[in-house]
Amino acid sequence: MAFNHHFITDIQKRETELVVYHSDDVMLCDRSGHMSIRSPPTGLQFEREIKVGSSCSTVCHNKGYTYVGLGNGAVDRIDDQGNVTSTFIKLGSHVLSIRAHNDQLYILTYGKPYMMYAYKLNGSVIRTWEHLDISNYYNWGNRISIIDIQLAVADVSNKRITLYTPAGKVIRHIRCAEITAHTHVSMCECDDNSVIISCSNPVKVFKFNLTSGAVEWTNAGTKQPDTVRCYGQYVLVSGHYTATTHIWIINKNTG
C-alpha cells in the first residue's frame, strides 16, 4: 500500500500523536488522521513507572491491557490507566513468552519439558500441552510468534521451530541449524511465512523462512541480543542487560 508523505508545521507538530494500529505497525499521525511519518521510534522518553510482582521477562498488549510475564510464574495485568491486577494468572514456572490472538492468550513457561498454555482474556485456562524443549536457559525474550493463525515456538534444545495449531496440535517441526543448543533465543513474526530470530551464542540476528527452512539474511553486528520485535519495515533488537544497554534498529528485509 502506498502512502503520501507531507510536511507539517511547528504548530501541527504539537498535535502529533503516536498511534499503534496493531502490534507490528507503528505510525505517527496528526489528530486529523493523516499519516505524517512511518518509521520506528527515533527516541524514547520516560513517562511513568509501574511496579509488578517480580522480575519481568515478557510483555504483550491486547485490547486495552498489558500482560506481563514474571519470573515467579505469574502473569500480572495492567490496564491503560496503569492499574495492576497482581497474579492475574498463576502458573507453575518462569513465564518466558506471551502472545495474544483471537481473544486468547498463549503462554510459554520454563521447565522440563516447557509448557504451553491457552487462556481466555478473563484469566480462565482453555488448554495446556507440553513443548518438548529441555534447554536449561530461561531465554528472556519472545519465544512465540503467530504466523497465519499458527503458533511458531522456538525449540532451542532441538534446534528447530515447532508449528502448532491454536488447539496445541503439532503441525510440523522446522529444522533451524542456526539455533545453537546453549543460547538465549528470542523470536518475532516478520511476515506471513518468516520470523526474525536472535541468538546470544554465537551472537547473531537472522531472518528465517518457515516455508523453505532457509536463512534469508544474518546480522552479526549487535552485542548480546536479548529480544527482537518488528515494527513496519524495521527490527528493534534490545541488547542484554549490562551497564549500558543498547537498542539496534535494522532493516527486516535486508538485515
| Coil/strand/helix, residue 12 | helix
Residue 53 predicted with pLDDT over 50: yes
Which pLDDT belongs to residue 44? 63
The three cell numbers locating residue 231 = 515494527
Which pLDDT belongs to residue 47? 76
Q: What is the residue extent of each domain of the chain?
A: 1-39
Cell 518466558 belongs to: 96
Which pLDDT belongs to residue 9? 40
Sign of CA dihedral 48, 91, 133, 101: negative
> How many angstroms separate the first and last alpha carbons of the chain?
22
Which pLDDT belongs to residue 218? 95
Which pLDDT belongs to residue 41? 55
Closest CA to 139 of 49, 69, 218, 217: 69
Which pLDDT belongs to residue 242? 62
Which pLDDT belongs to residue 225? 83
What single-letter DSSP state applies at residue 110? -
Average pLDDT over residues 94-100: 93
Q: What's phi and psi for 254, nearest 5 deg?
A: -120, -20
74 vs 1, residue with greater confidence: 74
Using 50, 70 and 90 to split pLDDT, how confident is the model at 39? low
Using 50, 70 and 90 to split pLDDT, how confident is the model at 206? very high
Mean of all residue pLDDT scores within the chain = 81
What single-letter DSSP state applies at residue 168? S
Which pLDDT belongs to residue 132? 87
CB neighbour burial string for 37-46, b if at least 16 within 10 angstroms, e if fewer: eeebeeeeee
